Amino acid sequence: MTASRPRAGQRPATTTKSEPSPPAVWYQGQVQAALVRRGGPLRLVRGEGTHVWDAAGRRYLDGRSGLWAVLVGYGRSEIVDAVAAQLRTLSFAPLTDAASPLVETLAERLRAVLPGDLRSIVPVPTGSEAVDTALKFVRLYHSAGGAGRRRVIISREYSAHGSTYAGSSLSDPDRGLLRGMGTRLAGIRFVGAPYRYRCPHCARLDACTLACADEVEQAIVAAGADHVAAVFAEPVPGPGGVLVPPPDYWPRLRAICDRHGVLLVADEVVTGFGRTGRWFACDHWGVVPDLMILGKGMTGGYQTLAAVALRDRVAERLARRLVPHGFTYSGHPAACAAALACLRIIEDEGLVERAAALGGRLLDGLGSRLGGCPLAGEVRGIGLMAAVELVSDRADRTPLSLGARGVDRLERELRRRGVLAFADNPVIVAPPLTITDQDADELAEAVAGAVGALAARRTRSRAGSQS
């Protein structure tokens, strides 16, 4: 997108210099005017395997999986063909009293990989809509059981649960998703997340004390246990910084919820379908949440599909009543066809195990290359999601404030090295599960190189200011 400048013979622009003309496309999560000033977004025109190409023909290793979604790589003809065949056969079916049988086939496939008795699938179009659905369903579950006073939802700092009003309300207030827009939905309380590097309880201790899990219980008790409906949590917050919890955290969360009759909702929109080296991140700890939110990678990014999986007791209670809730595009047959083809690829190619193995290689690669970098405070990750936390002082862990310019610079350094990653602090990488050994090394090399370039620049400018 470029700024529209008046040309000879044109009508004068109706906007003044201080009022830039409105953008033709609203690019998400961007300051529109700043993006225009920088020459617009990277225009991606082609993708194949783990790489994408821009309009100028430059090739990038996609260390973002698009937006955490492209699990099985670009240009998979198995998925394209399945979608095309479905669209030719039946291009739409509602998810009401008429539906495509494909949605049932998909539910069966999901049942086979989901843990425990998460056996009822509520298909919806997007992750945010799945979060909304889960929030409504947990409240309805309690009111249908005669506990309508259970309205409070516990969420956590560093969380990202989407951009609809419910998702924004459940997301960490520091993300600013409702800034200037009004108050969040009533009844949402926040507690700390397991973030060992910056934990107010145990960052400087030898071992984690799980005090962050206990915060959840304290919040439940403070709200009055019989007023709390659910705890919403991402098993490993991704956009919030790839915060890998200690092994006992989720089992402790499960026990706390059980003790107080509170539902446990795991948002696996980012972590599901192999990203962390298990089918679902909850599988690392053998925990079965009451509701699991799925999205993003379910179709490998080829179609729009998300879902909420319900445990039997939740589904059984809700199945007896009319739930007036749904979306036109829920369970679209082409999206179901894409998901089925994507799941087949994940299974046939052993991508879950591959994510575990390649994730180890990526993490080792980042760790060894960044070991001596003064800006690299911590390198952490699980499976194929990793983060490099940037600090201005390694000893006292002072967060490095990048500012808009620093973010731009980091992004440029990454792109110059032929890599796309989430350029911010922390720097986050989450490539397709199909990456090769060579891709993993290239990614680690590029991220380390880009962070190293920032460090060198800082050293130069400090030396300059001292001379």
Contacting positions for ligand PLP (CB under 6 A): 126-128, 131, 160-162, 167, 234, 238-239, 267, 269-270, 295-296, 306
CB of 158 to ligand PLP, least distance (A): 11
CB of 274 to ligand PLP, least distance (A): 16
Query: Residue 131 CB, nearest distance to ligand PLP (Å)?
Result: 5
CB of 134 to ligand PLP, least distance (A): 10
Between 335 and 375, CB nearer to ligand PLP? 335
Q: Nearest distance from residue 95's CB to ligand PLP, in Å?
A: 18
Of 430, 442, 408, the C-alpha closest to 42 is 408
Taking CA atoms, 95 is separated from 107, 110, 300, in Å, by: 13, 17, 22
- Nearest in space to 144 (alpha carbons), one of 311, 310, 320, 291: 320
Which of 299, 452 has the CB closer to ligand PLP?
A: 299
> Which CB, 296 or 332, lies closer to ligand PLP?
296
Distance of closest approach, residue 385 Cβ to ligand PLP, in angstroms: 11
DSSP state of 25: S
Which letter does DSSP use for residue 22 in this model?
Answer: P
Nearer to ligand PLP, 239 or 241 (CB): 239
Closer residue to ligand PLP in complex, CB, 166/446: 166
CB-based closest residue to ligand PLP:
127
Q: Which DSSP symbol is given to 236?
A: S
| CB crowding 246-256: b at 16 or more within 10 Å, else e | beebbebbbeb
Smallest separation (angstroms) from ligand PLP to the CB of 14: 34
Q: Is 100 or 155 the residue whose CB approaches ligand PLP more closely? A: 155
Q: 306-311 and 118-124: which strand pairing?
A: antiparallel
Separation CA 431–CA 64 (nearest Å): 5
Q: Minimal CA–CA distance to 365: which of 448, 281, 276?
A: 448
- Of 233 and 363, the one with the shorter C-beta distance to ligand PLP is 233
Query: How many CB atoms are located within 10 Å of the residue 258 CB?
Result: 11
Q: Residue 225: count other Cβ atoms within 10 Å of its Cβ.
A: 15
Toward ligand PLP, which CB reaches closer, 295 or 377? 295
Chain centroid to CA 104: how far?
A: 26
Closest separation between CB of residue 271 and ligand PLP, Å?
Answer: 8
Closest to 345 (Cα-Cα) out of 281, 301, 300: 300
Question: Toward ligand PLP, which CB reaches closer, 270 or 410?
Answer: 270
Of 235, 228, 273, nearest to 156 by C-alpha is 235
Residue 388: other Cβ atoms inside 10 A: 28
Name the residue nearer to ligand PLP (CB basis): 424 or 441. 424
Least distance to ligand PLP, CB of residue 299, Å: 11
Q: Which token pair is 430?
A: 């989450």
- Minimum gap (Å) between residue 350 Cβ and ligand PLP: 25
Task: Report yes or no: 374 and 455 within 8 Å, Cβ to Cβ.
Answer: yes
Question: 3-state DSSP call for residue 377?
Answer: strand
Residue 193 is which amino acid? Answer: A
Q: Which two tokens stand for residue 283?
A: 């599988």
Cα 31 to Cα 263: distance, rounded to the nearest angstrom = 38
> Distance between CA 467 and CA 463 in Å, rounded?
6
